[in-house]
Amino acid sequence: MLTDQQKDHFRSILQAQLDDFKKDLDQNDHFQLETEHPYNSVGELSSYDNHPGDTGTELFEQEKDIALNDHEEYELNKIKVALKAIDDGTYGKCKECGKDIPLERLEALPSALYCKEHSPDQTIPRHRPVEEDVLSPPWGKFVFDGSKDESVVFDAEDSWQSVAKWGTSESPSDFETPPDSYNEMYTESDDHDGYVEDFENFSGTDIAGKNVAIYPNEEYKEYEESLDDADTMTTFGDLPGNEKDPYVEDDDQRKHQK
């Protein structure tokens, strides 16, 4: 059981620590986490077009500030709780087992409210900087060609491809098997952008889906050449000679077949 003199002694120590923590957090504005841009710590105004190594340095600096801020706020709260325990008359006893906390432990750690055996200070903060979100692609994950979940919608993979084609920090030397062109340096670089089939670039219909028209252009010429090289009528195989259009049937065609 602590005497009133001992309680006053620890109260003065805790109050001094409380004032110091508050002063530090006020002076550094919580390590600039609330007002300063993350890249200011390394003298950068933006992360645009930075090498991943530079971005990694900036991320480390922010992680360090978050860790320091978490530590100071955690200690600040412990001191406040310890001061309240003194006022309540429970200071000096373990909140878990109720036994007296050794005086030596209180001298080394005045904010301690548990004995050594029941100390809860075994946790690791889980708060992470928002920049780490890029480690996991948005919308859950990228969906690459060949997977069972392949989708034709404009997803995260397509978003990355549309941006990566304008250049990344990588070079051919970064690859185990160097690509032939810088245009092939991102995942699924041969994927279509904004369309599914090649013929969408040169074909069209009216608003009702009829009156199919072909518009000869460079894509049309390339498509024709690729079919000629493969000696086939379409990319999905030859059509029977008696089939005019096996995929679109109007009402007259259906009646005639019946």
pLDDT in tens, 92-134: 999 999 999 999 999 999 999 999 888 887 666 677 767 666 6
Q: What is the 3-state secondary structure (H, E, C) of 126-143?
A: CCCCHHHHHHCCCCCCCC
CA separation (Å) from 49 to 43, 82, 169, 181? 15, 49, 7, 20
Model confidence at 251, pLDDT cuts 50, 70, 90, reads low
Please check whether residues 118 and 61 belong to one and the same domain.
yes
| Helix (H) or strand (E) run with residue 204 in it | strand 203-204
Domain boundary among 196, 216, 245: 196
Please check whether residues 29 and 84 belong to one and the same domain.
yes
Please check whether residues 183 and 205 belong to one and the same domain.
no
Please check whether residues 107 and 176 belong to one and the same domain.
no
Please check whether residues 56 and 122 belong to one and the same domain.
yes
pLDDT of residue 146: 47
Output the domain CATH number for residue 87.
1.20.120.910
Please check whether residues 8 and 126 belong to one and the same domain.
yes
Model confidence at 90, pLDDT cuts 50, 70, 90, reads very high
pLDDT of residue 104: 93
pLDDT of residue 13: 94
Q: How many CA atoms lie within 13 A of 205 on its CB side?
A: 9
Q: What share of the chain is helix, strand, coil (3-state, %, to 5)?
A: 45, 0, 50
Please check whether residues 27 and 101 belong to one and the same domain.
yes
Please check whether residues 203 and 192 belong to one and the same domain.
no
Please check whether residues 86 and 170 belong to one and the same domain.
no
Please check whether residues 110 and 169 belong to one and the same domain.
no
Please check whether residues 214 and 188 belong to one and the same domain.
no
Q: pLDDT for 162-207, tens place per residue?
A: 777 777 777 777 777 777 777 677 666 666 666 777 888 888 888 8
Please check whether residues 143 and 185 belong to one and the same domain.
yes
Q: What residue spans of 178-235 are helical by DSSP H?
A: 218-230
Domains identified in the chain, total number: 3
- In sequence order, the 6+-apart residues with CB closer than 8 A to the CB of 26 are none
Q: Model pTM greater than 0.85? A: no
Domain boundary among 152, 167, 196: 196
Q: What is the domain range of residue 52?
A: 4-132
Q: How many CA atoms lie within 13 A of 235 on its CB side?
A: 9
Domain boundary among 132, 149, 182: 132
